[in-house]
Amino acid sequence: MVDGKSVTPTIKTTAMVIPNLQLRPHSNHRVTMNFELSIPNVEDRLGWSKTTVSLGNWFPILAVYDQEGWNLDPYVSMGESFYSLTGRFLVTFTTSPKQVIATTGTEVGQPIIRQGKAIHTYQANQVRDFAMELDSTYRKISQKVGSINVQTFYQPAYSKFATDMQRAAIQSLQLFQQKIGPYPWPELDVVTMKGSFGGMEYPQLVMISMRKKSTVARIRTVVAHEVAHQWFYGQIGNNQYDDPWLDESFASYYESMFDQKLNELNAKPVADSRFHLSSPMSVFTQNGKQLDRIYVQMIYKYGPRTLHDLEKKIGSETFEKGIKTYFQQKQFDITTTSDFIQIMEQISHQNLDTFFRQHRVFIES
Ligand SMILES: [Zn+2]
């Protein structure tokens, strides 16, 4: 329904087109829809397994219209390909009273119990998405850090990791607030689950994938990486399909800072010079196949090394000032490679053209 009138949407791959709806700046429309989702029985960011239900990217979200027009890029399973603006969410969720739930946002009041079901209400402001994680066996640790409630939700099997995860969340939150800018939301949740990835970031909620080989050191690193995404993507948004380095390379750089391993960043770019640090996902995908190894080498390894090289070139103090300015100018907004370069040039009073070109960072004309 659009403004109370019934319409029939059309669906093409990952895009749903709603007819009779034109969104002009500062105009308001009310779109309502009923939809059913079968949650797949998989260990993933959207899936369920045993007692755990992961609800990432579970509802239709407004596509972004920018200088390229509508962004309807496909889904990729390596890293992320999401792109959304910030919004306000008010979510009512009905489930079994036994479920322990972590979400984006904050629960409003106590759940209402009706006919054996619990009705929860959650509110979130200035977030790009709304994710949830449910498990009736979850235990929880909470601690206030300033005005922020930091919580770790874990299944009993992961008890031995819980305090380290909570500590890593608090320490990384404090470090990144000091080095980048404030964390603006009242709550941050870290949850254990299972997936084929290390971790997955959603606003105010990070999923940490637990594996047989998980060590405390590795889990701490993953927590710090996902917490860094609260700044790079959560606050400073980007088109993750067009510019995957703008969130992943930055989160990886701050992960290394948390681990005090910046000096170990010395990865080389892949030999094939067609792959840039600033390449879009389409370049890291060929003939429908994801080039995981190349993508990881460039975005997660060469990317943070490039940022560290920049830090060495312009000096740590100037680099930090540049990042803080970048944060202030782009908070809750969308950034581009060109925005980042411009701000770093302004703050450092240097022409960084050659530096970025040599590091295979190019601005699309
Ligand atoms: Zn990441």
State yes or no: pLDDT of 74 exceeds 90. no
Closest CA to 193 of 59, 355, 50, 41: 50
pLDDT, one tens digit per residue, over 315-363 is 999 999 999 999 999 999 999 999 999 999 999 999 999 999 999 999 9
- Which residue in the list 187, 226, 255, 311 is annotated as catalytic? 226
**Burial class (CB within 10 angstroms; exposed 0-12, middle 13-18, buried 19+) of 190:** buried
Residue 364 is predicted with a pLDDT of 72
Average pLDDT, the chain: 96
With cut-offs at 50, 70 and 90, classify the pLDDT of residue 249: very high
Looking at the fold, whether 214 and 325 belong to one and the same domain comes out as no
State yes or no: pLDDT of 168 exceeds 90. yes
Q: H helices within the chain, ranges in order?
A: 159-179, 216-228, 245-258, 292-295, 303-314, 316-330, 337-348, 353-358
Looking at the fold, whether 12 and 107 belong to one and the same domain comes out as no
Ligand 1 centre and the CA of 151: distance in Å? 20
What CA dihedral angle connects 84, 194, 170 and 298, to 10 degrees? Answer: -60
Cβ 129 vs Cβ 61: under 8 Å: yes
Q: Is 229 annotated as a binding residue?
A: yes
Q: What is the ipTM of this complex?
A: 0.99
Residue 160 lies in a domain: yes
pLDDT, one tens digit per residue, over 93-139 is 999 999 999 999 999 999 999 999 999 999 999 999 999 999 999 99
For the chain, what is the domain count? Answer: 3
State yes or no: pLDDT of 365 exceeds 60. no
Q: Which of 3-17, 42-56, 254-268 has the lowest mean pLDDT?
A: 3-17
Q: Which two tokens stand for residue 186?
A: 């009242």
- Which residue in the list 122, 138, 233, 300 is annotated as catalytic? 300
Mean pLDDT of 49-71: 95
233 is catalytic: no
Residue 65 lies in a domain: yes
Residue 20 is predicted with a pLDDT of 85
Looking at the fold, whether 265 and 207 belong to one and the same domain comes out as no
With cut-offs at 50, 70 and 90, classify the pLDDT of residue 24: confident
Mean pLDDT of 160-184: 98
Q: Which two tokens stand for residue 210?
A: 């637990």
State yes or no: pLDDT of 145 exceeds 70. yes
Mean pLDDT of 269-278: 97
Residue 210 is predicted with a pLDDT of 97
Q: Is 359 annotated as a binding residue?
A: no
Mean pLDDT of 38-60: 97
Ligand 1 centre and the CA of 248: distance in Å? 5
* Amino acid identity at 225: H
Residue 14 is predicted with a pLDDT of 87
226 is catalytic: yes
Residue 237 lies in a domain: no
Residue 365 lies in a domain: no
Residue 224 is predicted with a pLDDT of 98
Q: With b meaning 16 or more CB within 10 Å and e meaning fewer, what string describes 18-48? A: beeeeeeeeeeeeeeeeeeeeeeeebbbbbb
Ligand 1 centre and the CA of 321: distance in Å? 23
CATH of the domain at 293: 1.10.390.10
What CA dihedral angle connects 136, 227, 340 and 14, to 10 degrees? Answer: -10
DSSP string, 96-119: -TT-EEEESSEE-SPPEEETTEEE
Looking at the fold, whether 264 and 185 belong to one and the same domain comes out as no
Residue 240 lies in a domain: no
Mean pLDDT of 21-39: 92
Residue 201 is predicted with a pLDDT of 97
Looking at the fold, whether 256 and 340 belong to one and the same domain comes out as yes
Ligand 1 centre and the CA of 6: distance in Å? 40
Looking at the fold, whether 341 and 267 belong to one and the same domain comes out as yes
Residue 28 lies in a domain: yes
Place of tokens 């910030």: 86
Ligand 1 centre and the CA of 1: distance in Å? 36
Q: With b meaning 16 or more CB within 10 Å and e meaning fewer, what string describes 288-320? A: eeebeebbbbbbbbbbbbbbbbbbeebeeebbe
Looking at the fold, whether 51 and 108 belong to one and the same domain comes out as yes
Looking at the fold, whether 179 and 52 belong to one and the same domain comes out as yes
Pairing assessment for the beta strands 52-55 and 46-49 based on DSSP bridges: antiparallel
Protein residues with C-beta less than 5 angstroms from the ion ligand 1? 248, 251
Residue 288 is predicted with a pLDDT of 82
Q: H helices within 110-232, ranges in order?
A: 159-179, 216-228
Looking at the fold, whether 63 and 152 belong to one and the same domain comes out as yes
Looking at the fold, whether 22 and 54 belong to one and the same domain comes out as no
Place of tokens 């295979």: 360
Residue 77 is predicted with a pLDDT of 86
With cut-offs at 50, 70 and 90, classify the pLDDT of residue 25: confident
Residue with more model confidence, 332 or 213? 332
How far apart CA 168 and CA 96 sit, in angstroms, is 31
Q: What residue numbers bound the domain in which 112 lies?
A: 43-228
Looking at the fold, whether 95 and 223 belong to one and the same domain comes out as yes
Q: Which helix (H) or strand (E) holds 95?
A: strand 87-95
- SS3 (DSSP) at 241: coil
Ligand 1 centre and the CA of 229: distance in Å? 7
Looking at the fold, whether 211 and 336 belong to one and the same domain comes out as no
CATH of the domain at 215: 3.30.2010.30
Ligand 1 centre and the CA of 255: distance in Å? 10
Mean pLDDT of 300-314: 98
Ligand 1 centre and the CA of 307: distance in Å? 15
